[in-house]
Chain A
């Protein structure tokens, strides 16, 4: 009977059967990706497949903007050039001072026999697009493992910390922004060296400093910079500015809001730098006498 069936009526399995197969497959993928993190290889393969499309979707707009720039007024360029020259003079003066300080610093380091800090590696990355996923605050940038980007690198713009590379594909990588929900950055108030942690609350929402007593010495306008305590963010990078401090009677903590200093929505280039150098391991034994006592038993 089946052998005589014309080819026209052969349709393969029914849609419902197919749905069963493919939804089981998707659920398996979901669990293995979200809970077990097994799917990175597949993700990297697919990201190479999709790269030409990403390139095609973003490049024409860029090129159009570049052509627009090309026809900018000459006077604008001249005035900008003059301003830049002035700035360059100022900056070179500063750079001379920095060079002197660096030399002094190197001497001091050599004297105290401190471990030499790793040379900082910088790579310029270009933002391809904001992540479309409304649940997270991510950026997709145009450099991946082919340009030696590694997960854990810090991404900054010229004003402050933007985020951290969390996933690297062959040609692109994903950056988790500091405003992503429950993303933590250990920071220090620059004015009084108070160490605390700043929490992300979600895309387009301010950052929050939690669990500080109502009488804490933080004011509007204070600058938070990284403290380097976590071993991920190197110390001394500016992160956020305090915009609002609410001290309510009856609540155990002050509500402190901050806005990120990095404004990556205003330009399209970011800098990826290495994370903090490896720190000394956490001491395992409580004290030397306790350890020797243990050995005796």
Chain B
């Protein structure tokens, strides 16, 4: 139920920053390598979410900068994540008005497609620079992210659904 019957409170910029900060922490957590790609890319997930809900604030520029930070944190070629994130943020923004009125399960499918696309772009970049294919487990994070989409969206919207005051 993305188009809600109730009015949503505006999102503060600090909240958006906080979610990106948390996503970055999850991505940098030390158990990431042990799980072998089974954890979703939370930054990409948050980018899709905010580009969908706050298209005027979070766009391609944000995607690019966050991508650069991920590149430095992971120690891979500068621009790899930046390129992939920019593409998925742009695709989300182009179809944002359609995308925003879909039910959650359809949004989750689109998110799955977008995250797989981001990974394919990164795979292509790495193959072009002479690395080998890391195995199909590499793509396992995207379906998990898609499953997380509905609970995550509900959780984030809860913050905006709080009643303001009754005496309007």
Contact = CB atoms under 8 A, between A and B. Distances in A.
Contacts of A282: none
A46 B69 contact: yes
B138 interface: yes
A135 B76 contact: yes
A26 B71 CA distance: 11
B83 A30 contact: yes
A33 B89 CA distance: 23
B74 A133 contact: yes
B74 A18 contact: no
A15 B90 contact: yes
Nearest to A47: B72
Interface string B71-86: 0111111111011001
B59 interface: yes
A30 to B, nearest CB: 4
A134 B86 contact: no
Contacts of A47: 72
Contact of B79 (A19, A27, A174): A27
B32 interface: yes
Contacts of B75: 131, 133, 136, 138, 140, 167, 174
Contact of A30 (B37, B60, B61, B79): B79
A93 to B, nearest CB: 39
Interface string A139-171: 010000000000000000000000000010000
B151 interface: no
Nearest to B60: A18
A222 B33 CA distance: 30
Contact of A26 (B37, B82, B138): B82
A34 B79 CA distance: 10
Contacts of A29: 68, 78-79, 82
B72 A46 contact: yes
Interface stretch (A52-60, A110-118, A227-235): A52-60
Given A33-B78, A39-B78, A135-B131, A15 B60 contact: yes
Nearest to B123: A135
B86 to A, nearest CB: 4
Interface residues on A, range: 35 or more
B21 A53 contact: yes
B86 A58 contact: no
A171 to B, nearest CB: 12
A53 B90 contact: no
A19 B37 contact: no
A136 to B, nearest CB: 7
A64 B32 CA distance: 18
A128 B32 CA distance: 12
Contact of B28 (A18, A23, A53, A202): A53
A16 interface: yes
A33 B77 contact: yes
Contact of B90 (A19, A25, A28): A19
B24 interface: yes
For the complex of A and B, 6 pairs with smallest distance between CB atoms: A130-B33, A29-B79, A26-B83, A19-B90, A15-B93, A30-B79
Given A22-B63, A30-B78, A135-B76, 13 more contacts: A11-B56, A18-B86, A22-B60, A25-B64, A26-B83, A27-B83, A30-B83, A33-B79, A39-B78, A53-B28, A57-B30, A129-B32, A136-B75
29 contacts: A15-B60, A15-B94, A16-B94, A18-B61, A19-B90, A21-B60, A25-B82, A26-B80, A26-B82, A28-B79, A29-B68, A30-B77, A30-B78, A33-B78, A34-B129, A46-B69, A50-B73, A53-B25, A57-B29, A58-B29, A129-B29, A129-B32, A129-B33, A130-B32, A130-B34, A132-B74, A134-B37, A135-B131, A202-B132
